[in-house]
A and B are shown apart, each in its own frame.
Chain A
Amino acid sequence: MPDPGRPSRRTLLRAAAAAPWLLAGPARAQGDGIAVRIEQDIQTLDPAERASAIEGNVIRAVCRNLVAFKRGSFEIENDAAAEIRQVSDTAIEFTLKDGLEFTGGYGPLTADDVKFSYERFLSVGPDGRKPAYAADWAALDRIEVTGPLTGRILLKHPSAALWANAMADVSGAILSRDAWTRLGREASLKLVGAGPYRIEEWTPNRRLVLRRNEAYLGDPSDFERITLRPIAGSTTSVLAFRAHELQLTRIEANDKHRLEHLPGTRLIDLPSINFVWLGLNMAKPPFDDARVRRAIRLALDPGEIVTAAYDGTVAPARALLAPGMLGYWEAAPVRKRDVEAARKLLGGGFRATLTLLNKFNYITAAEVIQAQLAEIGVAVDLRPLDGGSFWSSGDGEVGKRLELFLLRFGGKADSSFISQWFLPAQIGSWNWQRWNDPEYARLYDQAAAAGDPAERAALYIRMQQLMDRSDAIIPLTHETSLFLDDAGLDPALLPNGDDQQYALFRRL
């Protein structure tokens, strides 16, 4: 355990408190493990139904994919596949490595397991519901098993994003058909894979312990055990980190200044590819009026908003795609604040509701927006909602009543992932601005099918120009991922910060 070995008073206290029970209590597995904070408890470990990146990270450590991301990057390398290649626009052939075994005695990993794992995404439940991540495999037609270890993935249409968003990511995790059918309902809780780790223990609300899979074929990971501890509050998690109860924790921007120079600690500041913006519902008057939207945009100063919300740790964003991503729009215009012009454009003021997630930095951002819009006579009521009601506030009928909202979407390796939420087809689910631009949809389909990266980049830039012109999507930031990291640990974080490769965490 990478403990800097400071015998704090706490250790002594702990020893004193533990003394009477030393003989009775089970031995503590301190030796070769690390503890990592997760922001909320695990809900389900079904790759097709995962609730967030937190579940995805566990699945990534427990299961193998055909291909996987290299350490800390979105470049792709072979994983369970010995050989894999795109033979045509709509066909991929693979050969699995020999000797891969599922844990728990569920036998060898075969091409049939691959077929089972990916075709699940196409199934429709008894209630008519598709899996939550069905879109990742939307291009899949079927998988042909041509031998115990060989198969062919057949697509309905070309898909440029399939490799990065499905195959190499969590939706590409290979499950054991045998385990999944035999375990039934329990399967999504007792995930069985052939990856570097297996789930040793899961006590809801307390911890999930990943134990090194000794039968794993590949470089063994550095840590025998990785304990994931759900801690919702960032304050508590920082305190726990300082007490050496955690070796890695995400922190909020507000904590950065104080924790920057903590001895024995590294602060990881990873510019992210997420997108945070202020949205305006174009279906709801007065936001259907282009002048009103332009006035609101002119009245806002994204720089000041993100300085307050992220305590000066991030730069304001100008468009959807972050620097470094395919289709990053470098020449995107900087909108200067002009209260006078905004006032003139607007004429009279009105009241509006700003819907947001009940989280400290969003509330801070919203309070700044509230103050800035007050200057042009727009009185904003904040509606901070808990996760459950917030994430459903753009749906169907309810979504039509939405006015202003603060939203954050996580980025993934391929630019098509984050672009899809602004499609007209997403109106009623994730296109909360109800921005209905068929041209955007046309360009999106074109970019998805195109093979040439330069051509795709140009298409994504044109899509962002359309977004910019709508004035319904006011970019705020791409965020940065801040982590406190114990000096003995070198974590493996993918460029979006949310996705982590536990199996590639290294000891320093």
Chain B
Amino acid sequence: MSLLNRLWAYPTGRLGLALVALVLAFGLLGPWLSPYDPVVITVPDRFAVPSWQHPLGTDQIGRDLATRLAYGTRLALVLAVIVLALALASGVTLGILAAFAPRRPAQAILVGFDMLAAFPSVILALAIFAALGPGLDRLTLIIAATMMPHFGRVARAQALGFRGSPFIEAERALGASAPRILVLHVLPNMLGALIVLASLDLPVVITIEAGLSFLGLGVPPPQPSLGNLLNDGYSTIGRTLWPVAGAAGILALATLGFTLFGEALRDALDRRSAP
């Protein structure tokens, strides 16, 4: 509770919380509340302007846009959580290994991180899609892979900090095994920092997913995703602006909200900086 209070103390934190709550409600409740099926078409109703029946209008084949946006938001949120969990798990594991392993394997891991980081993430994704073709599964793995070195480096730095710390030395003197020390002491201690990092990366994941779907490399139709919806809207920009405005608007709200939220969270957890 006190964390929420501290978040609330920042004006940007308040805005962030509000936006995150809005986006979460839209993405998680929207699909459940909507009377429409996101993939059922009614061709005669295509390109309807906003009305009571269709709060954001309809798309090129008469599907309710608000409903599709809600499903797209849900997909983005779920995907982001999965991607971050994958990236965190693999990054932390490799990061700790790099900190505690002998010099050569540790170096190999670090070069691996550098190699992945040497590819701008969008470019790496494009290179892999070129070989494999598009798909949701590889989209998830690719984004996770580009996020992984970031977590790995932080985990390694944190673990290195713990390596020489007195309480670890004490544990070791008491005869605790290395895995035990890692799981019971090192991991919990670095988790806070990593979760902040992950929350800061959440909007980045949403952006990459939407961007690659926008290029037609992510989620296949008729599944709604924010990138597909943005592409649909961009493709029909000559006909109507509602679809592109809807998709761009949700993307803006989500990325802005999660960024503000993440930054406020970081500040709130960072004892040095007061509101």
A254-B60, A308-B60, A382-B221 are contacts. A367–B238 as well, Cβ < 8 Å?
Answer: no
A363 to B219, CA, bound (A): 14
Say yes or no: is A22 at the interface (Cβ < 8 Å to chain B): no
Contacts of B220 in A (CB 8 A): 381-382, 384
Say yes or no: is A185 at the interface (Cβ < 8 Å to chain B): no
Chain B nearest CB: distance from A51 CB in Å? Answer: 21
B238 in complex: contacting residue of A251, A363, A366, CB < 8 Å: A251
Say yes or no: is A464 at the interface (Cβ < 8 Å to chain B): no
Chain B nearest CB: distance from A238 CB in Å? Answer: 5
A259 with B238: CB separation less than 8 A: yes
Q: Which one of A255, A307, A367, A381 has the highest number of Cβ atoms from chain B below 10 Å of its Cβ? A: A367
User: Would you list which residues of chain B between 111 and 139 have a CB under 8 Å from chain A?
Assistant: 133
Say yes or no: is A258 at the interface (Cβ < 8 Å to chain B): yes
A364-B60, A364-B61, A384-B216 are contacts. A308–B43 as well, Cβ < 8 Å?
Answer: yes
A304 to B42, CA, bound (A): 9
The 0/1 profile, CB within 8 Å of B marked 1, for residues 233-256 of chain A is 011001000000000000110110
Say yes or no: is B39 at the interface (Cβ < 8 Å to chain A): yes
Contacts of B62 in A (CB 8 A): 308
Say yes or no: is A19 at the interface (Cβ < 8 Å to chain B): no
The 0/1 profile, CB within 8 Å of A marked 1, for residues 228-245 of chain B is 000010111111000000
Contacts of B236 in A (CB 8 A): 254, 360
Chain B nearest CB: distance from A383 CB in Å? Answer: 8
Say yes or no: is A371 at the interface (Cβ < 8 Å to chain B): yes
B235 with A254: CB separation less than 8 A: yes
Say yes or no: is A257 at the interface (Cβ < 8 Å to chain B): yes
Q: Which one of B61, B221, B232, B236 has the highest number of Cβ atoms from chain A below 10 Å of its Cβ? A: B61
Q: Which one of B61, B237, B238 has the highest number of Cβ atoms from chain A below 10 Å of its Cβ? A: B238
A251 to B239, CA, bound (A): 12
A118 to B57, CA, bound (A): 57
A258 with B61: CB separation less than 8 A: no
Closest A residue by C-beta to B39: A371
A257 to B239, CA, bound (A): 7
B41 with A258: CB separation less than 8 A: no
B239 with A254: CB separation less than 8 A: yes
Say yes or no: is B6 at the interface (Cβ < 8 Å to chain A): no
A235-B234, A308-B60, A308-B61 are contacts. A368–B239 as well, Cβ < 8 Å?
Answer: no
Say yes or no: is A222 at the interface (Cβ < 8 Å to chain B): no
The 0/1 profile, CB within 8 Å of B marked 1, for residues 363-395 of chain A is 110111011000000000110100001000000
Say yes or no: is A358 at the interface (Cβ < 8 Å to chain B): yes
B61 with A367: CB separation less than 8 A: yes
A371 to B42, CA, bound (A): 10
Say yes or no: is A468 at the interface (Cβ < 8 Å to chain B): no
Say yes or no: is B40 at the interface (Cβ < 8 Å to chain A): yes
Interface size on B, residues (CB 8 A): 21
Say yes or no: is A311 at the interface (Cβ < 8 Å to chain B): yes
A308-B41, A367-B41, A367-B221 are contacts. A255–B238 as well, Cβ < 8 Å?
Answer: yes
A368 with B43: CB separation less than 8 A: yes
Say yes or no: is B179 at the interface (Cβ < 8 Å to chain A): no
Say yes or no: is B163 at the interface (Cβ < 8 Å to chain A): no
A402 to B61, CA, bound (A): 26
Say yes or no: is B46 at the interface (Cβ < 8 Å to chain A): yes
A364-B61, A368-B61 are contacts. A252–B238 as well, Cβ < 8 Å?
Answer: yes
B239 with A311: CB separation less than 8 A: yes
A255 in complex: contacting residue of B60, B216, B239, CB < 8 Å: B239
Say yes or no: is B188 at the interface (Cβ < 8 Å to chain A): no
Contacts of B60 in A (CB 8 A): 254, 308, 311, 364
A481 to B190, CA, bound (A): 62
Closest B residue by C-beta to A306: B43
Chain B nearest CB: distance from A376 CB in Å? Answer: 15
User: Would you list which residues of chain B between 16 and 71 have a CB under 8 Å from chain A?
Assistant: 39-41, 43, 46-47, 60-62
Say yes or no: is B175 at the interface (Cβ < 8 Å to chain A): no
A213 to B99, CA, bound (A): 73
A308 with B221: CB separation less than 8 A: no
Say yes or no: is B222 at the interface (Cβ < 8 Å to chain A): yes
B238 with A368: CB separation less than 8 A: no
A382 to B222, CA, bound (A): 8
A251 to B39, CA, bound (A): 27
A307 with B222: CB separation less than 8 A: no
Contacts of B221 in A (CB 8 A): 363, 366-367, 382, 384
A367-B222, A371-B39, A382-B222 are contacts. A308–B235 as well, Cβ < 8 Å?
Answer: no
Contacts of B234 in A (CB 8 A): 235
The 0/1 profile, CB within 8 Å of A marked 1, for residues 201-237 of chain B is 0000000000000001000111000000000101111
A268 to B17, CA, bound (A): 52
Closest B residue by C-beta to A367: B222
Closest A residue by C-beta to B63: A367
Chain B nearest CB: distance from A374 CB in Å? Answer: 8
A235 with B61: CB separation less than 8 A: no
Contacts of B235 in A (CB 8 A): 235, 252, 254, 360
User: Would you list which residues of chain A between 222 and 238 have a CB under 8 Å from chain B?
Assistant: 234-235, 238
A254 with B216: CB separation less than 8 A: no
B238 with A235: CB separation less than 8 A: yes
B216 in complex: contacting residue of A238, A307, A358, CB < 8 Å: A358
A254 to B232, CA, bound (A): 11
A304 to B238, CA, bound (A): 21
A255 to B62, CA, bound (A): 17
A366 to B61, CA, bound (A): 11
User: Can you show 16 pairs from A to B with CB atoms below 8 A apart?
Assistant: A235-B237, A254-B238, A304-B43, A308-B41, A311-B60, A311-B239, A360-B232, A360-B235, A364-B61, A367-B39, A367-B222, A368-B41, A371-B39, A381-B220, A382-B220, A384-B220
Interface residues of B (CB under 8 A from A): 39-41, 43, 46-47, 60-62, 133, 216, 220-222, 232, 234-239
